[in-house]
Amino acid sequence: MLLLRSVIFNLFFYLWTFVLLIVLIPAMIWPFGNPVLFIGRVWCHGNLWALRTICNLTVDYRGLEKVPSGAVLVAAKHQSAWETFAFFVPFPRPAYIYKRELSYIPLFGWAIWRAHQIPVDRGKKGEALASITAGARAALARDQQVMIFPEGTRRAVDAPPDYKYGVTHLYSALDATCQPVAHNAGLFWPRRSFLRRPGTVIVECLDPIPPGLPPEIFAERLKTTIETATNRLVAEARAQARE
């Protein structure tokens, strides 16, 4: 049954994504506002509905009252593709930092460009930091939430943390409040896996980190905050599964 439900959901996911990419074609030339972000929110809620209906996978958002209103730097754990759409709920105007290669995908690449997302060329580290900083500063000026995964790529549940310098650089360069986010999505939508397991993903928005901390103190505080909460949420989900 798990395999069948996963097959049905994945068929829905790719079809739903394709349909909305077609809808995006006229939206990308719409001169008013940013309809691409609106369609992104529709995509998010459609996917969450399908996971709930087909896979019996729900989500519990915690700590939403802690999220600063308006522009903020969001640093989140990255375990799965799940969070790339599910974060539209707590962060409705995201500006994701993404690898530039995604820009070359037809329709999808155009859409993320139109939505003012922030590309990074990971092969050019010095230039990449300057480019990311400029893009993030512009996104904050548009009242968007700058989204960064501090480890740079998806990490398996229980894998040792591997935080990169980029998030610390942005925090210092932007002089921005940082919103840490922990979750346990990797238990239910594992990276490099076709299966979508039932249960409840918990997303927890943690206490914001104010601007102005020395870089080394910020880096350690961010890592400790996210990893401690992530381990707690993973343990909570595993305990519920044993009941």
Q: Mind listing the pLDDT tens digit of every residue in the chain (243 residues)?
A: 999 999 999 999 999 999 999 998 887 777 776 788 999 999 999 999 999 999 999 999 999 999 999 899 999 999 999 999 999 999 999 999 988 888 888 888 888 888 889 998 776 666 788 899 999 999 999 999 999 999 999 999 999 999 999 999 999 999 999 999 999 999 999 999 999 999 999 999 999 999 999 999 999 999 999 999 999 999 999 999 887
Tell me what pLDDT residue 113 has: 86
Tell me what pLDDT residue 123 has: 66
Q: Which two tokens stand for residue 224?
A: 């400790």
The residue length of the chain stands at 243
Tell me what pLDDT residue 45 has: 98
Q: From the CA atom positions of the chain, what is the Rg in Å?
A: 18
Boundaries of every domain in the chain? 58-242
Query: Residues 51, 202, 217, CA angle at the centre, nearest 5°?
Result: 135
Phi, psi (5° rounding) for residue 42? Answer: -60, -45
Q: Which two tokens stand for residue 72?
A: 């903020």
Whether 74 contacts 146, CB under 8 Å? yes
Query: Residues 113, 77, 140, CA angle at the centre, nearest 5°?
Result: 40
Whether 132 contacts 170, CB under 8 Å? yes
In angstroms, rounded to a whole number, what is the distance separating the alpha carbons of residues 175 and 172?
5
Q: Which two tokens stand for residue 74?
A: 């969001």
Conformational region of residue 107, where left means phi above 0, alpha means psi within -120 to 50, and beta covers everything else: left
Second CATH level (architecture) for the domain 58-242:
3-Layer(aba) Sandwich (3.40)
* Cα–Cα nearest to 56, from 196, 198, 165, 202: 198
